[in-house]
Amino acid sequence: MTHLVLLHAFPVNRHLWDDQVEYLTKAGRRVLTPDVAGFGDSQVPQEATMTALAESVLSPVGQPSVFAGLSMGGYILMEILRLHPEMVSGAVFMDTKASADTEEARAQRLQVADAVLAAGQTRDLADAMLPKLLGETTRSQNAPVVDRVRGWIEAARPEAVATAQRAMADRPDSVHTLRRYEGPALVVWGSEDTISPAADQRVMLDAMPQAVGREIPESGHLSAVEQPSAVNDVLLEVLSDWQ
């Protein structure tokens, strides 16, 4: 049976997927949730590149698998499609986008990298990012999820944050990579996501005519933790359809 590899967002860690691991494992699926290099229990990579982040998550995988990447995890999945397309038997792009950064966004990332290293902590980053990462519904109605996400961001090492920001700042546009990909694909986004809104999802769906699109209601950018049941159902459905 095909394995499912779940790639987490920035600047959290593999625990973003705890609800999916529990649900899909009970449903008999083999699920891998590697930490992206530097986050969770993993080592900060030598190089601040998307290639280094992609190689770090691929090392425990070992066979062609279905990959689901959320936001930064989606950028990493696009890098895997560039480097090792033979490893991807199905692709789920969640709350992510195919475009490269604008000059302004790139400059902002490099500034955040420097600021976090100088501060030596990620508490201020958590304050700045939580309102953007989480949707209005979660922020107003789901304090436990807000606290969990805050805890993950505060646990991130400044070196990991800086490395990932520098790698993402240099990532290429991936529209051509998605056009070349002919395998099964799903595009999922939160209805309240302002970081990668509907227009970004449309670009990915247009690049992959075979892709199915699914909006997750009452979710911001971190759909896996904001609306876990809806995401679990969507993932189990595609795993059943694609094998």
* Residues 6+ positions from 54 with CB-CB distance below 8 Å: 76, 79, 80, 83, 84
Tokens of 128: 């700045």
How far apart, in Å, do the first and last CA atoms of the chain sit? 7
On whether the CB atoms of residues 99 and 173 are closer than 8 A, the answer is yes
223 touches ligand MLT (CB under 6 A): no
138 touches ligand MLT (CB under 6 A): no
Site map for ligand MLT, 6-45, x if CB under 6 A?
A: ---xx-----------------------------------
Tokens of 144: 């436990």
Residue closer to ligand MLT (CB basis): 72 or 204: 72
Residue closer to ligand MLT (CB basis): 40 or 184: 40
Radius of gyration of the chain (CA): 16
Residue closer to ligand MLT (CB basis): 89 or 142: 142
Closest approach, Cβ 110 to ligand MLT, in A, equals: 12
Residue closer to ligand MLT (CB basis): 23 or 152: 152
Buried b (16+ CB within 10 A) or exposed e, 134-148: bbebbbeebeebbeb
Q: DSSP letter at 34?
A: P
Q: Which of 72, 77, 125, 161 binds ligand MLT (CB under 6 A)?
A: 72
71 touches ligand MLT (CB under 6 A): yes
174 touches ligand MLT (CB under 6 A): no
Q: Residue 223's Cα: distance from chain center in Å? A: 10
Tokens of 172: 């290429």
Residue closer to ligand MLT (CB basis): 31 or 94: 94
221 touches ligand MLT (CB under 6 A): yes
Closest approach, Cβ 132 to ligand MLT, in A, equals: 8
Residue closer to ligand MLT (CB basis): 128 or 205: 128
**Given 3-state DSSP classes, what are the helix, strand and coil percentages for the chain, each rounded to the nearest 5?**
55, 10, 35
Binding residues for ligand MLT (CB under 6 A): 9-10, 71-72, 168, 195, 221
